[in-house]
A and B are shown apart, each in its own frame.
Chain A
Amino acid sequence: MMCGKSRRAGFALLILALILVGCAKRPQLVQAQAPAPTGAAVTEPAAPVVSPQPSVSRAPEPPPTSPTPAVPTPAVPTPPPAKEFAEVVALQDIYFDFDRYDIRPDAVSTLAANVDWMKSNPGALILIEGHCDERGTNEYNLALGDRRAKSTMDSLVAQGVAADRITIISYGEERPVCAEHTESCWSRNRRAHFLAKVR
């Protein structure tokens, strides 16, 4: 009697485990772990992780954790919405040193000018993109780009821009502006890029 119950329980456990295993997510890309926030320089993460999409977060909310595979979106001619994120000439990129995410002294004046524009356009929502050069793995650079976007956001907030106006996104190394294997090219790719959406 006991034996039968035990076996039934065992089989139920087995079936449950198989169902759970069968329902496991497809080979999924793991969100890159951000480097330790203790310093500006970051170190290579031990385990390789992959993220299929840029990581996005809207301050002060945490970034989404359910990446989906990139799917080509056919070009459908739809009229653009009246208000959308767009490049603003007044918002200039800032650049970072290799493998670092602290704000460089030469970026301070650029950021101050960007802050001036944001304060004079208080209704504008800001998107900060963090980018990296191609050195390092994709997942590492996704995390580094996230750090760059966050430190840029922190600087803006410290200068009086409301955090709830800012969204950050990391593209890692995957959206370069140049592809040469030279320091001058890499330095152009290590950047925070700004978009704005006027409400």
Chain B
Amino acid sequence: MKDRKDLRSTSLLAVGVSILSLFVWASAVATAAERHSGRVVAVDAATRTLVIDEIGANAKEQRLRLRLAPGAQLVMSERDEHPEDLQRAFKEVPIGLSDVNPGDFVVVELVKAGKENLADLVMVTLRR
């Protein structure tokens, strides 16, 4: 009788731990950064927002509106003429939002915050 009770409480604990782990894992996955790239259509310094046109899955064109997250990194990436490391064939130089122009090709990393796209990283990789 006692053994059965022990087994039951252990099983309940194990199930509880599993469910808790699942929730934490699911929330971690849900907040994972997405990487997108496309051409800048508009920049609004006042609201710290960017609009980019990208051609994503199934070659479908979409317009992505995103707001810079607090502390977001903005960088200009250029080919390094003297790379010492294969992982750093391109060098990144910090820039401001005012340095991002319509027409620039950018790579962004963003997370969903409700219905809003928050960008952690904006990297200009081609300027025309």
Q: Show the binding face of A for B, using Cβ within 8 Å.
A: 2-3, 5-7, 9-11, 13-14, 17-18, 20-21, 24, 27-30, 44, 48, 50-54, 56, 58, 69-75, 80-81, 84-86, 127, 129, 134-140, 167, 169, 173-179, 181, 195
Interface size class of B (residues with CB under 8 A): 35 or more
What are 30 sample pairs from A and B whose C-beta atoms fall under 8 A apart?
A3-B5, A10-B10, A18-B20, A24-B25, A24-B28, A27-B32, A29-B33, A44-B57, A44-B58, A52-B35, A53-B87, A56-B86, A70-B75, A70-B121, A71-B73, A72-B75, A72-B94, A84-B83, A134-B37, A135-B55, A135-B59, A136-B55, A136-B56, A136-B59, A137-B57, A138-B37, A140-B57, A176-B126, A177-B126, A178-B126
Given A69-B121, A72-B93, CB of A3 within 8 Å of CB of B33: no
Instruction: Flag if A84 contacts B82 (CB, 8 Å).
Output: yes
Chain A residues with Cβ below 8 Å from B17 are 13-14, 17
Segment with Cβ contacts to A, from B43-51, B63-71, B104-112: B104-112
CA distance A27 to B112 in the complex (A): 12
Question: Mostly helix, strand, loop or mixed at chain B's interface?
Answer: mixed
Contact of B125 among A44, A52, A135, A176 (CB under 8 A): A176
When distances are taken between beta carbons in the complex, the residues of chain A under 8 Å from B90 are 175
B contact set with A: CB distance below 8 Å: 2-3, 5-7, 9-10, 13-14, 16-17, 20-21, 24-25, 28-29, 31-39, 53-59, 61, 73, 75, 81-84, 86-94, 103, 105, 107, 109, 111, 121, 123, 125-126, 128
Given A6-B9, A27-B32, A50-B109; 6 other pairs, CB 8 A cutoff: A10-B14, A27-B29, A29-B32, A70-B73, A72-B73, A73-B92
Tell me if B33 and A27 are in contact (CB < 8 A): yes
A179 touches B83 (CB 8 A): no
Q: Please give, as numbers and ranges, the residues of chain B lying within 8 Å of A138 by CB-CB distance.
A: 35-37, 107
Q: Top 4 A-B pairs ranked by shortest CB distance?
A: A80-B82, A10-B13, A6-B6, A27-B32
Tell me which residues across on chain B come within 8 A of A129, comparing CB atoms: 89
Give the residues in chain A near B25, CB-CB below 8 Å.
Answer: 21, 24
Q: Please indicate the chain B residues that have their CB under 8 angstroms from the CB of A86 in the complex.
A: 81-82
Give A84 to B94 CA distance when docked, in angstroms: 24
Smallest CB gap from A168: residue in B: B86
How far does the alpha carbon of A74 sit from the alpha carbon of B95 in the complex, in Å?
10
Closest B residue to A28 by CB, please name it. B32
A18 CB → nearest B CB, Å = 8
* B93 near A50: Cβ-Cβ < 8 Å: no
CA distance A54 to B77 in the complex (A): 13
Q: A3-B5, A13-B14, A74-B93 are in contact. Are A27 and B83 (CB under 8 A)?
A: no
Q: A29-B33, A50-B32, A80-B81 are in contact. Are A72 and B2 (CB under 8 A)?
A: no
